[in-house]
Amino acid sequence: MAGNGRRPDASTPAGPGADTYVAMVARAEALIPKLRERASKTEDLRRLPPETERDLHDAGLFRIVQPKRVGGSELDYVALVDCADALGRADASAAWNFANLASHHWMLGMFDRHAQDAVWSKDADALIASSFIFAAGRATKVEGGYRLNGHWPFSSGVESCEWNMLASVVSSEDEAEGVEYRIFLLNKSDYKINDTWNATGLRGTGSNDVRVVDAFVAHRMTIAVGDLTGGPTPGSSVNPNALYALPVFSLFPYVLSGVGLGNAQACLDDYVEIARHRASTYNRTKVGDMQSTQIKIAEASAKIDAARLIMRTNCLEAMADARRGHVPNIAAKTRLRRDGAFSVNLCTDAVSLLFTASGARSLFTSGALQRQFRDAHAVNSHLAFNFDAAGTNYGRVALGLPSENLTL
């Protein structure tokens, strides 16, 4: 495997859960062959096949960052990167839905215990979808909670979920109160799913729209974005692990960045394997003997290895900060967002480089390369990986200007 794609042992989280951590990553890696075999079926279905969801459940992967008190593994945050990296080497759509849905167990651990119990006391395996597009919703304060309306796109894996976390702006008659961003936890009985997901990349994620019309959401089933900026949260009383004191939206890119990483690693591994045996159709020269091939392997692997180092280092350092009760300042938070976007852009660049180097072979729909190329660019299209947005905000803060990202 070029670049190995494996974490150095020294960077594996230490402590009482280390064995579980290694076991969970190994379980993700063990699924690679069968998920890769199903990748075309996943695209045709436009959602994960039931057997893939069952495999992820049976492996315990959806619950890697769920609190131990309800049977989760409560692994360090970097587990999302490492497990998505492994699954992404099989199928980016499967990795995307795994990472999305697993991360919502982590976020629910920060809600009021009432919200946690509403979900986990009934079914600790219940899946939770999301759409964190605040402008898509409008909430109004009423006695005991809120009235919520909105139409949210890109709710990945929603067909399989019992619950959904939907982000909204809270309206106020008094403009002096300012804008409030809040996340609302709704049961599937409170929203309608619109089947809209017909996409060129990440085709198997089932990232459909959801619509809410005048739903009442009790206050305890919501959480303010201001409670998710780092430090104690409403859920800290029952989930004291530093995992649930991380700044959510500062680290948001790393929920999904491992998908782009694994997809790029698979693309590189496939390219190397083919180059070892393939002869040029033009002059029958062995492709692996060409200097241009060797240079492209070096460049792509350097980009992927650099991306992995950035992603994992930031996640490990964030956990270390949280354990010592340190909340990063706005400069550090914008750097996390900058690095999250930059590292995924590196992965996309690597895939594009290898796609171009593969010539006409890359055009065949029967091969994995065209899917890896489409998926790489689909991952990169997520706002969290838009370097112009992340870079602009980082530059503003570096220059002493206020951050434009109100969720940090």
The token duo for 407 is 């969720």
- Decide which of 2.40.110.10, 1.10.4080.10, 2.60.40.10, 2.70.98.10 is the CATH code for 128-241: 2.40.110.10
Q: At how many degrees (to 10) do helices 92-108 and 113-120 cross?
A: 130
What rounded mean pLDDT belongs to the chain? 93
Instruction: Check pLDDT > 60 for residue 9.
Output: no
For β-strands 163-171 and 137-142, DSSP reports them as parallel
pLDDT-derived band at 288, boundaries 50, 70, 90:
confident
Q: Of 159-173, 225-239, 352-366, give the lowest mean pLDDT range.
A: 352-366
Evaluate whether 128-241 and 253-398 have a shared fold: no
For residue range 60-119, list pLDDT tens digits in order. Answer: 999 999 999 999 999 999 999 999 999 999 999 999 999 999 999 999 999 999 999 999
For β-strands 137-142 and 145-155, DSSP reports them as antiparallel
**Collapsing DSSP states into helix, strand and coil, what is residue 117?**
helix
pLDDT at residue number 1: 43
> Which amino acid is residue 123, in one-letter code?
D
- Per-domain residue ranges for the chain? 9-125, 128-241, 253-398
pLDDT at residue number 175: 58
Task: Say how many CA atoms lie within 13 Å of 363 toward its Cβ.
Answer: 2
Angle at 102 between CA 51 and CA 389, to 5 degrees: 120
In the CATH hierarchy, which fold is given to the domain comprising 253-398?
Answer: Butyryl-CoA Dehydrogenase, subunit A; domain 3 (1.20.140)
3-state SS of 75-106? CCCHHHHHHHHHHHCCCHHHHHHHHHHHHHHH
For β-strands 163-171 and 128-131, DSSP reports them as parallel
pLDDT at residue number 42: 97
Instruction: Check pLDDT > 90 for residue 34.
Output: yes
pLDDT-derived band at 183, boundaries 50, 70, 90:
very high
pTM of the model: 0.93
Neighbours of 40 (CB within 10 A): 16
Angle at 339 between CA 335 and CA 344, to 5 degrees: 160
pLDDT-derived band at 307, boundaries 50, 70, 90:
very high
Instruction: Check pLDDT > 60 for residue 35.
Output: yes
pLDDT at residue number 19: 77
Class level of CATH domain 9-125: mainly alpha
